Amino acid sequence: MQTLSEIRALLAERNLRPKRRFGQHFLHDKNLLRKLVAEARIEPGDVVLEVGPGTGSLTEALLDRGAEVVACEIDRGLAAIIIERFGGRVCVIQGDCLSGTRALNLDVAEALGNRPFRLVSNLPFQVAATLVMVLLVHYPQCHGQFVTVQKEVADRLMAEPGTKAFGPLAVIVGALAEIRQVALLKPSCFWPQPEVDSAMCALRRRVDHALKDPAALAAFAGVIFRSRRKQLGRILGRRFSDWPAGVTPETRPEALAVGQVIELWRNAGGWATPEVARAKPKERPKGR
């Protein structure tokens, strides 16, 4: 793995500097990088998606474990460094890792194919929450996410009901995965230093969940939590009456547990918007 001096020198040789618009903060603590790789439990031949590989410190550690790495780097200069350092050992895709807010970059998706994979990344700040949600909701072949994110994002991922951070992200994580905080990272672990703390999180997809349409649940959660201080009776409409145990029309979204959000969504027929729920209260599909 590279030292901070080596990272600085590598960029300076190419007249490159960290770009704030891309959320570039290079994690240079070798012990933390090793900890992230160890937490992912990489075995030879495992497919790993790395977003924002930077100068390749984490990439090198993944390759040492025998992983097949698909690295997506939006910065053209940094992508060139990865290609120069690792050649054909890494599939490098230059561009945004996402296509909109619901899908991976088409080239990234093609490189991964339908194979099981894991995300192991020091994620750029701007993309972290969206990417975690996209992979959870739309890519069941992503069996785990082992990432460094802003502490604020980690708080939203692990938020408990009744807290300010609890929202759609925590609902989806609670429904589909198990999560734990692996480490808390101070700004000094990065160069340049961010203005906030970061956290290393491990998300492992649960194989026993019964959700058939996570995207619809995510949409439903997004709708009700946009009005988190309103009463559910006002959000879903007066004609809605199929309330889960412990939930009344006066309950506010911020007070719901994950299981109650799921049951409420199912009782609403899996509809993604309250407008549909108000329009078709008698046509809810059963057995979902």
pLDDT in tens, 218-255: 999 999 999 888 999 999 988 889 999 999 999 999 99
Confidence class of residue 43 from pLDDT cuts 50, 70 and 90?
very high
Confidence class of residue 270 from pLDDT cuts 50, 70 and 90?
low
> What kind and span of H or E run contains 71?
strand 68-73
Domains of the chain: 4-205 (3.40.50.150), 214-279 (1.10.8)
Confidence class of residue 286 from pLDDT cuts 50, 70 and 90?
very low
Write phi, then psi, for 124 (nearest 5 degrees).
-60, 140
pTM over 0.85: yes
d(CA 284, CA 280): 7
Q: Which is it for the CA torsion 34, 39, 45, 51, positive or negative?
A: negative
Q: Across residues 97-102, what is the average pLDDT?
A: 92
Confidence class of residue 285 from pLDDT cuts 50, 70 and 90?
very low
Q: Which amino acid is at 42?
A: I
d(CA 7, CA 134): 31
Beta carbons within 10 angstroms of residue 184's beta carbon: 12
64-86 pLDDT per residue, tens:
999 999 999 999 999 999 999 99
d(CA 46, CA 223): 37
SS3 222: helix
168-176 vs 128-138: helix crossing angle, rounded to 10: 40
The structure tokens 């959320």 sit at 23
